[in-house]
Amino acid sequence: MTENSTPALELTGIEMHYGFVRALDDIDIHVMPGEVVALLGDNGAGKSTLLKVMSGAHKPSHGSIRVHGQEQSFHAPSDAAEAGIQMVYQDLALVEPQDISTNLNMGQETLRKGPLGLLGFVDRKAMRRSSEAELDRLGVRTAPMTRPVEMLSGGQRQVVALARSAIRVNGESRGILLLDEPTAALGYEQTKNVEGLIERMAAQGIAIVIVTHDLPLCYEVADRMVILNRGKKCADVPVEGTDRDHVVGWITGSRASMFAA
Amino acid sequence: MTMTTPHVSTEVPDVAGAGADSPGPAPVPTGSDVPRAVSVLVFLRDRGIFMLWGLLILVFAFWCSPYFFTVDNAILVANAGALTALFAAGVGIGIMTGVLDLSLPGTAALASCVTGWMLTHDYNTALSLLAGLAIGVAVGLVNGAISLRGFNPIIVTIGTLSVLTGLASVVAGGYTFPGLTQLEFMGTHRYLRIGEGGSTFTGIPAPVFIVAVVFFVGTVFLTRTRDGLRLMAVGANAEAVRRAGIHSDRYKVLGFVISGVLAAVGGLVNTANVTEASPVASPGILFTALTAVALAGVALTGGRGSLPRVLVGALILATIANGLIIRGIQPYWATVATGALLLGSLMFERVLQTAVSERLMTANLSVHARN
Ligand SMILES: Nc1ncnc2c1ncn2[C@@H]1O[C@H](COP(=O)(O)OP(=O)(O)OP(=O)(O)O)[C@@H](O)[C@H]1O
Ligand SMILES: [Mg+2]
C-alpha cells in the first residue's frame, strides 16, 4: 500500500510575504495520517502564518500544497475545509454576539424540515441538541449552548473554537486538524482534556499540527517537532530521544539549524 | 435570557464563569452561573428602549390628555413614523451587517424617478414599482462590488450617493414627476375602514402595513434563517465567518442589496404619499433614520441590534413630535428633545454596560478564588 506513505498534508517550498516582511522562507513540512506534529518557535517565528497557509486563510507567495497526495491551491478557507482541513485560530475567529450553538454550527447549519427549511429557516433546537451530543462525544464541556460567546471566559472561548473544528474532523479518517496554541488560555484540567482529545483524534487517523509554546504539552502529545526560527525551518526531529535543551536552543536560535546551507 | 434552557454541565471549575448546573431537563442555577443582577442589567440594556417608549406614551397620555391616547392618534403616529422606519430599517440592517450605507437617499431618489418616469409614460404600475425596486438591488450590488475591493464603504457610498442624485435629475430632466395618483393605494389610502362617513374607525394607512411587513419579514429573516444569521455574523466578524468556510463576500454584498432595496421602498412610499417623484435626495431622512437606529442601541461595530428595536426607535421620534405638536409646542423643540434623548440613552447604556462587565468580572474572580 502506498497509502501509508502518502502524507495527509505536505507543503513544499512555501514562501509568504506580508508586504516587505518575509514571514516564511522556503518551508517544507508534512504530516502523516494519525501523526501529531508540534510546530515550535519563538514569537513572530511564523508559526501562525504557516498554519494559515495550510488552512487557506493566506495564499502563499510561492510553494505547493498537497493533501493526501493531491496538489491543491486554496483560495479561501472554504477550499481547505472541503479538502478536510480544519483550523483553530490563535485569535479563535468566533462571532462574539452570537451564541455557542450558532458559532459551532456556523457554515453547517441544520435547516428545519418541510417548507420552512426550503425557505432557509434554521432548526435551532436541533442544532443545540446535536452540538451538545457532539461535545459529549468529544468529551469537552463548556457553558450552556445559548450563551453568547462575548459572555464567555477566555478559556471557554478557546474550548468552543477547538470544539468547532474537532466536531468537523471527528470521524473523518482523512481529516487534518490545525491547532494554533489551543491551550494558551486553559487551566490544568482543561489542558489535560485537550491532550486527551488530540490523542483520540490522532488514533482515528486524523493528522494534527499543533502550535504551542508549552514544551511539556508538546512532549506529551506530539510525535515529531518542527521548529521555525525567523521564518525558516531549523529543525525537524522526532520527539522521542530529542533533548529539551536542544529544542530550546533551536527555538531561541542559539543552536545552529539542522538545514544550514 | 439564556438560562431557561436545559444544558450540559461543565466539569471545569477553573474556567471562570462556567455554569455548574447538573445535566438533565431541570437545571439548577447556581451561584457560579451568570448572576441574576447581570441578567437583569442585560435585560435592561437590551429591552430598555421598549420601556422608554412606554414611559413616553405614559407621560404624553397624561400631559396631552385627552388627544394623545386615542386610536386615531396612534395611527397618526404610526403613519408619521413610517417613512423614518423604512429608512431606519435600511440603515439599521446595513450597520448590523457591517456597512454604513450613506447612499440611501440617492437610491430612494433614483428609484422614485425611474418609477415616476415609467408611470408618466403609461407603463403598468406593478412593472414601474418593480423597476424602482430593481434600482435598489442594482445600487446594492454596485456598492457591494466596489466595497469588496477593499475600499471604505462610507466613502464608496458617499460617491454613489452623488452619482445617484445626479442620475435621478437626469431621469427627471430637471423637473419632477407630479400627479402619480396610481400609487395612492400604497400612499394615503387607508385600509380596514369600519363604517362610512362619521365612521367609528377610519382605517389604517397603507405605509403602516408596508412597515409592518418589512419589519416582520426582516426580523424573521435576521433571526431565524441561515442567511440572516450569517449576515449578522459577517457584520460582527467577517473574517471569522470566512474562516468558518463561508463565502463571506456574498453576505457583505447581500447587506448592501437589502439596504438598497429598503431605500427604494422608502423612496416609493414617499412618492406615493405626495403623488410626486422628485430627484432631490434629502440627506435629512438619513440622519433621522440614523437617530432612530442609534436610539435602538444598534452598535456601529456591527453584528448587534434588532429590527424591532429600530422600529421602536423610529416610533419614539414620531411619538415625541406628535405629543409636542398636540401641546402646540414649536416643532424644533422635538428635534432638541430627540437629540437630548439620544445622548441620554447613550450615557444610560454606558452605565449599564460598565455595571454588567464589572459584575461579570467579580463573578469570575470569585469563581477563581474558591479554587
Ligand atoms: N497581518 C500581518 N501583517 C503584517 N505582518 C504580519 C502579519 N501577521 C504576522 N506578521 C509578521 O509575520 C511574522 C510571523 O508572524 P506569526 O504570526 O506567524 O508569528 P508566530 O510564530 O505565530 O508568533 P506567536 O508565537 O507570537 O503567535 C512576524 O514578524 C509578524 O510581525
Ligand atoms: Mg502565532
DSSP A7-41: -SEEEEEEEEEETTEEEEEEEEEEE-TT-EEEEEE
In Å, what is the CA distance from B317 to each residue of B49, B262, B328, B340? Answer: 12, 19, 17, 12
Residues near B157 by beta carbon (within 8 Å), at least 6 away in sequence: B99, B100, B101, B102, B103, B143
Total tally of structural domains belonging to chain A: 1
Nearest-angstrom CA–CA distance, B293 and B262: 14
Cα separation, B187 vs B79, in Å, equals 10
Is it the case that residue B371 has pLDDT exceeding 90? no
Domain assignment present for A58: yes
Chain B hits for A123, CB-CB cut-off 8 Å, are none
Q: Ligand 1 test: best mutation among A47, A55, A61, most atoms within 8 Å of CB?
A: A47
Q: What is the pLDDT of residue A4?
A: 63
Which pTM value belongs to this model? 0.84
**Closest by Cβ to B12, choosing from A141, A144, A145:** A141
Is residue A98 included in any domain, yes or no? no
A166 lies in a domain?
no
Cβ-defined contact of A57 to B224 (cutoff 8 Å):
no
**A with B: how many residue pairs have Cβ under 8 Å apart?**
140
ipTM (interface pTM): 0.86
Q: Whose CA is nearest to atom 9 of ligand 1?
A: A49
Q: Whose CA is nearest to atom 16 of ligand 1?
A: A46
Residue B85: pLDDT over 90: yes
| Residue A163 belongs to some domain of the structure | no
Verify whether the Cβ–Cβ distance B18 to A94 is below 8 Å: no
Task: Give the integer Cα–Cα distance in Å for B249 and B334.
Answer: 41
Question: Which residue in the block uniquely carries the three cell numbers 471569522?
Answer: B240
Looking at the domain assignment, is residue A157 inside a domain? no
pLDDT single digits (tens) B162-185? 999 999 999 999 899 998 888 888
User: Which triple of cell numbers denotes residue B158?
Assistant: 458617499
| Domain boundaries, position A17 | 9-93+174-252
Q: Is residue A106 part of a domain?
A: no
Residues in chain B, overall count: 371
Residues 8-67 of B with CB under 8 A from A: 8-19, 21, 34
Contact present, B95 and B293 (Cβ < 8 Å): yes
In terms of DSSP H, where are the helices of A86-187?
Answer: 100-105, 115-118, 124-138, 154-169
Asked if residue A259 belongs to a domain, the reply is no
The pLDDT value given to residue B198: 59
Confidence of residue B23 (pLDDT cuts 50, 70, 90): very low
Residue B343 contacts residue B277 (beta carbons within 8 Å): no
Q: Which atom of ligand 1 is nearest to the CA of A45?
A: 21
pLDDT tens by residue, B246-292: 999 999 999 999 999 999 999 999 999 999 999 988 888 888 999 99
Pocket test for ligand 1, best of A21, A39, A210 (most atoms within 8 A of CB): A21
Ligand 1 atom, smallest distance to A181 CA:
27
Q: What is the pLDDT of residue B363?
A: 54
Residue A258 counted as domain residue: no
Residues B289/B87, Cβ–Cβ less than 8 Å? yes
Stretches where chain A sits below pLDDT 70 are 1-4, 261
Taking contacts as CB-CB distances below 8 angstroms, the residues of chain B near A137 are none
Of all residues in chain B, the one with the smallest CA distance to A82 is B245
Residue B72 has pLDDT above 90, yes or no: no
Residue B16: what pLDDT? 37
Say if the Cβ atoms of B10 and A142 lie within 8 Å: yes
Answer whether residue B26 shows pLDDT above 70: no
**Alpha-carbon gap, residue A135 to A148, rounded angstroms:** 17
Residue B307 — pLDDT band, cuts 50, 70, 90? very high
CB of residue A45 inside a 6 A radius of ligand 1: yes
Question: Are the C-beta atoms of B296 and B310 separated by less than 8 Å?
Answer: yes
In which band, very low, low, confident or very high, does the pLDDT at B17 lie, cut at 50, 70 and 90? very low
The CATH number covering residue A56 comes to 3.40.50.300
Which set of grid coordinates corresponds to residue B23? 445535566
Q: Which of A151-165, B25-39, B145-159 is predicted most confidently?
A: B145-159
CB A127 within 8 A of CB A110: yes
**Mean of pLDDT over chain B:** 84
Cβ contact A57–B243 (<8 Å): yes
- Which run of H or E residues covers position A194? helix A188-203
Least confident stretch, B91-95, B124-128, B179-183: B179-183
CB–CB contact A95 B303 (8 Å): yes
Q: Is the pLDDT of residue B209 over 60?
A: yes
Q: For residue B197, what pLDDT is reported?
A: 61
Is the pLDDT assigned to residue B21 strictly greater than 80?
A: no
